[in-house]
Every structure is written in structure tokens, then in C-alpha cells.
Amino acid sequence: MLRNYKIEIGIGAAVSLVVFLLYRGVNLLPLAMVAGIVVGLAFAAKMRGQGPLAASSRGIQAKKEASTQMLTFEQIGGQERAKRELVEALDFLVKKEEIARLGIRPLKGILLTGPPGTGKTLLAKAAAQYTDSVFLAASGSEFVEMYVGVGASRIRDLFTEARKKAAKAGKSAAVIFIDEIDVIGGKRDGGQQREYDQTLNQLLTEMDGIHTSEAPRILIMAATNRKEMLDPALLRPGRFDRHIGVELPDVKGRLHILQIHAKNKPLESMELLDRTAAETFGFSGAQLESVMNEAAIYAMRDNLEVIGRSHLTSAIDKVMMGEKTDRETTDEERVRVARHELGHAIIAELVAPGSVANVTLSPRGQALGYVRHQPQRERYLYTKDYLEGQIRIALGGAAAEELFYDNRSTGSKGDFDQAINMVRTMAECGLTELGIIDPGMLTPEKLSSLASGMLEDLLKQTKVMLQEQIHAFEYALDILVAEEVVDGSRFRDMLRESVPAAV
């Protein structure tokens, strides 16, 4: 109430002063201009504190505050090599006396590269915990705005905030983590100056300003899955000194990740995780976490207290293919899809025995049916024979349709796309009749001609292989149509049982 009286008294005094000056004939125009400038500056300052820039900065600060939950390297599974390499780099911050004795310059930046969902952000958080540092996180997209100079200003604020927080917390170092750094760190084209270039230039300047002797010490970490797009100035020594690949986990890594995410989940048997790890080739850590979560949801739907084998199988299928759809197919379509999928599965067992995980007729995503494979051993190099075998597996469905119906359906489109991609890989690796060629010289016309000849030959071979297994189709068809899902081990038993007895 008293405050309102003060405002009214002030307004009354100002009006009285203006009236008095006008009565005395004083020119108030200069005073009005000065007052307008002062009011304008005050309003601009207020809007700056409430505008998009300030709001965005508060959003980044809120995210950094929310990202301070720490974890250790032991809580991260499937990246043993990346963790060893990262710990070695971080020891430059931890073992200060030893590196000073040997004259080693501490690292300024560590770049984590690899596919999405492999744990790059988790590694950065564990790095902050390992070095007992303050941890600040931001995404590359947060530095990009329509306002010129905003990104560069945010970069400066981020480094300033890191130093302040480290000093306030009594820490000797701070870790700044920028996810998706390719957004602001892309290659500069040398053309007209862009907002992205200003932001990148500011980041380079801040990294150059990191001195190894200053306290608190700043370590910048960044992550990207498109390293080839980054500007060379970022990648040189003295900025991002170490490039650590964070790849998809192998079977041991997948088992470790599954064990971590199964700690708070009741499993029917821990042996289920071994089989799940074998069946999830090519899965990232994020996908494996989703598998365990979806399996728990399936168990809840069934009102069961423990997670069983069927729940894990359904979870793997959902993560790979999507949720089941409500598509209703006719009996004729259902039988055709069954023969198509049996063609894939039979060829897979002939080419790579023991590789079929299950055969399913339940529609998921865009597929009316599918065969899920589990490689017996993980490969990182592929021979011509191996790739041709994989092409035969992809063509097995179309070959089965031709064998029984003398025609094909649109259900083979995805199989043909997969086969053509493998032909392209073979051509680029010099495994075709074209010999060693420059991939840039592989025109669409040349690839089409090459793929057409190769696929027709392999399709004929696949049909011959299936013709010799016609008894397997007759034996397994009714069982698959009736049950919809056939486990891989049972499918192999069916193949053995379908072999005609010797006369």
C-alpha cells in the first residue's frame, strides 16, 4: 500500500514539474528526447532479460543443471575398448604429477564417434565422475538460432559457466560435453559468412584459449555419428586430440548391457540373457535397454510375475519391426506369405545352419511376415561366397513364390532392395566381374545391368536348392499357418523330421 502511495506521489511531482517548466517557457524537447532514450534503453534491457536469447540461455542452463547425475564406467556395458582408451586419456587430468614429470601436454578435447544409441553421452558423464569434475552438457542444436551472434555468445557463456561452477564447487577441472557437434562444427564452404561459421569460430577460439596450466582446467568432449562432416580445424591436434570410436557392441558387450538392465527386473532364468544376446546382432545399447523394457511390459500384460522367453522374443521383434498390426489377410494370402517366409528360412539353414531364430506370420510394421536371423558368429569381413549366400537368403522368398505359383508378388520388394545393396557392396569392393573400380564410376545404369545378371543367376540357383527341399515346405506349411510363430530350434527339428525315410 505504501509503495502505491510513493508511485502516485512521484507521478504527481513529475506532472507538477512539467507544468511549472512549461509555465516558465522552458523548451522541454531536449529533455523529452533524453527521457525517451533512457526509457528505450531500460525497456531493451528488460526485454533482453525476458526475450528469446535469455529464455534460451536459461533453457540451456536448466539442462546443464539437470545433467549433473553422475555414473561410473562400471555402469556402462559393451564398450570395454572405448572405456580403456578414454580412461587413458583422462589420466592426463588425474595424474598431474606424473604427466608434469614426463612433460606431457594434457588433452584439450576428446571426440566420441559412432552410431546413435551406443552410449557416447554416458561415457562423457562417466568421464566427469572419473576425473572428479563438474559436468555440463549441451546439444549442438541449442547454439543455432535465427538471431545473429547468439550461437557465439552461448559458446562463451558455456565456457564461462564451466569455470564458475568448477570454482564454486571446489573442483580442479570441468568437463563440457556437446552432443551432435556436427550441427555447429560442419565444414566451412568458404562462401558467405554464416551464423554457423561464427559459432564454430568462437568454439575454436575458446579451445585455443584453454591453457593446461590454468585452474580450473577445462576438458571439452563432443559426440557425433557423422565425423566426416566436421571441419578439419576442429579435428586437428591441440583441439580434439583424441578420436575414440564407440561402436555397436559384440555378443559379450550385449550380454553385459542386458545384465545391467535386468538387475531390477524379475527373469524366469538368467540363461535367457545369453540367448537374447546371441539373437540381437547389430543392436545398440539403447535398443537393448528397450528390449528389456518391452519384455517387462509384455509380462505385465500377461499378468505374470517374471519375464519369460516369449516376452523377450516379442520384445526383440518389436524393437526390430515395430508393434503388431491389425491387418487381416485372406487364407490365400496367408498361405502365400507362409511359403515366402519358409523360402527365406530354408535357404538360411542351408547356407548358414543354425542361423534362424524364428519364423513369424504375425504382421509387424510393413511386413506381413518375417524371418529373424541370429548369426552363429559375428563377422567384420565378408567374402564373395558369404555375400552371395546372403543374397540367396534374400531371394529365397521370391524363389519359393515362383516355385509354387509361377509368379511373384509385391512382397519381394524389400528383399530385392536388400539384394541390390549387397551387389553394390560387392562391386565397390572389387568382388564382381567389373574388377577393381572407382565407386564414383558405378553409375545407376551399370549397377542395374550388373545386378540384373547376378540376381537372375542366383535366383535360378536358389530355386534349384528349394526344389530339393520341397518336402520341407509340405511338412512345415500347416504347422506355421496354424501356430503363426515357429522357434528356430523347432524349425530345425521340422527340417530333420521332413526328410523322407530311405527306402
Place of cell 505374470: 304
Place of cell 498390426: 325
299-322 core/surface letters (b: 16 or more CB in 10 A; e: else): beeeeeeebbbbbbbbbbbbbbbe
Assess contact for 459 and 399: CB atoms under 8 A.
Answer: yes
Distances (CA, A) of 121 to 53, 111, 127, 405: 26, 11, 10, 52
Distance of CA 19 to the CA centre of its chain: 70
Assess contact for 132 and 174: CB atoms under 8 A.
Answer: no
- CB-CB neighbours of 47 under 10 Å: 12
Place of cell 545399447: 285
Mapping DSSP to helix (H, G, I), strand (E, B) and coil, where does residue 155 land?
helix
Read off the amino acid at residue 349. Answer: E
Place of cell 503388431: 324
Q: Which residues contact 415 (CB under 8 A, 6 or more apart)?
A: 344, 394, 395, 397, 398
Assess contact for 175 and 219: CB atoms under 8 A.
Answer: yes
CA nearest neighbour of 229 among 193, 186, 261: 186
CA dist 25 and 224 (Å) reads 70
Distances (CA, A) of 463 to 271, 401, 455: 38, 10, 12
CA nearest neighbour of 243 among 228, 259, 265, 264: 228
Mapping DSSP to helix (H, G, I), strand (E, B) and coil, where does residue 176 land?
strand
Mapping DSSP to helix (H, G, I), strand (E, B) and coil, where does residue 248 land?
coil
Residue 181 grid coordinates: 557437434
CA dist 220 and 207 (Å) reads 8
Q: Among all residues, which ones are annotated catalytic?
A: 341
CA nearest neighbour of 233 among 181, 162, 160, 155: 181
Q: Which residues pair with 471 in a beta bridge?
A: none
Mapping DSSP to helix (H, G, I), strand (E, B) and coil, where does residue 357 land?
strand
Helix residue ranges, H only, 51-103? 52-66, 80-94, 96-102
CA dist 173 and 110 (Å) reads 15
CA dist 106 and 213 (Å) reads 9
11, burial (CB in 10 Å: exposed 0-12, middle 13-18, buried 19+) = exposed
Mapping DSSP to helix (H, G, I), strand (E, B) and coil, where does residue 173 land?
strand
356-365 core/surface letters (b: 16 or more CB in 10 A; e: else): bbbbbbbbbe
